[in-house]
Amino acid sequence: MDTNYNVENTASEIIEKVHEAYSKLNKFNVMILGKTGAGKSTLINNIFRVDLAKTGLGMPITDQIRKIEISDYPLAIYDTPGLEMSGKNAVDNLLDEVLGEIRSGIRSGDMNQMIHCIWYCVATPSHRFEEAEIYFLKNFFGKASSFKIPVIIVMTQSYSNSDANLLRNKILSENLPVRDIVPVLAEDFEFDGGTCGTCIWSG
């Protein structure tokens, strides 16, 4: 039996199936997580260029998680309640809801209903990466490893390169299997009498 031929054949079939699945993808779904006050809402508003709090575009999926999408826009955001620091139960409850939403999309069998990526937001000016956040993410990676969903840590409100680098190093020291750590600035701010325009950048 030609083993090389079989391996190459199998690999080609897998690649073909992946391409076929993604060709049916009309909407890329991102779930955004983070503590209350981490800047999730500002980031979402900037992505859609709409003040969603005023327009009420968020459609409830469960009592707490909502899917935000705009017609003919190729991105949908799954907004989640802020991670509370008030104890293990609050963290575990949110983890259960997040995993439930991910499983629901997978069970649908529809690529357009699945969560494709997770952004976990941390506010750069706080200089803090809480123990509860580390606990949440480690448990997520442990329970969701089979889903193979990439997680990107988004450092919001990154007004200062030095602050961003300090927080990035703190996060890196936890050795979490995240895909990337990206500093962003999603809202205009004033400094030294002037205004810095909205920008999203990585360093």
Predicted TM-score (pTM) of the model is 0.78
Residues in the chain: 203
Q: How far is it, in rounded angstroms, from Cα 149 to Cα 193? A: 43
Half-sphere exposure of 107 (CA within 13 A, CB side): 6
In which residue are the tokens 């494709």 written? 116
- Enumerate the domain spans of the chain: 27-196
**pLDDT single digits (tens) 58-79:** 555 555 788 988 888 888 999 9
**pLDDT single digits (tens) 83-103:** 876 666 688 989 999 999 999
Residue 121, class by beta-carbon neighbours within 10 Å (0-12 exposed, 13-18 middle, 19+ buried)?
A: buried
83-110 exposure pattern, b = at least 16 Cβ within 10 A, e = fewer: beeeeeebbeebbebbeebbeebeeeee
User: What is the per-residue pLDDT for 69?
Assistant: 87
Please give the structure tokens belonging to residue 169.
């190093």
- Secondary structure element (H or E) that encloses residue 99, with its range: helix 88-108
Q: What is the dihedral of CA 53, 54, 55, 59, to 10 degrees?
A: 30
**Which residues are 151's β-sheet partners?**
118
Q: How far is it, in rounded angstroms, from Cα 63 to Cα 81? A: 10
* pLDDT surpassing 60 at residue 8: no
Share of the chain above pLDDT 90, in %: 42
Q: DSSP label at 128? A: -
CB 27 within 8 A of CB 75: yes
User: What is the per-residue pLDDT for 12?
Assistant: 57
**pLDDT single digits (tens) 98-156:** 999 999 999 998 888 999 999 999 999 988 999 999 999 999 999 999 999 999 999 99
In SS3 terms, 138-191 reads as: HHHHHHCHHHCCCEEEEEECCCCHHHHHHHHHHHHCCCCCCCEEEECECCCEEE
Domain 27-196 sits in CATH at 3.40.50.300
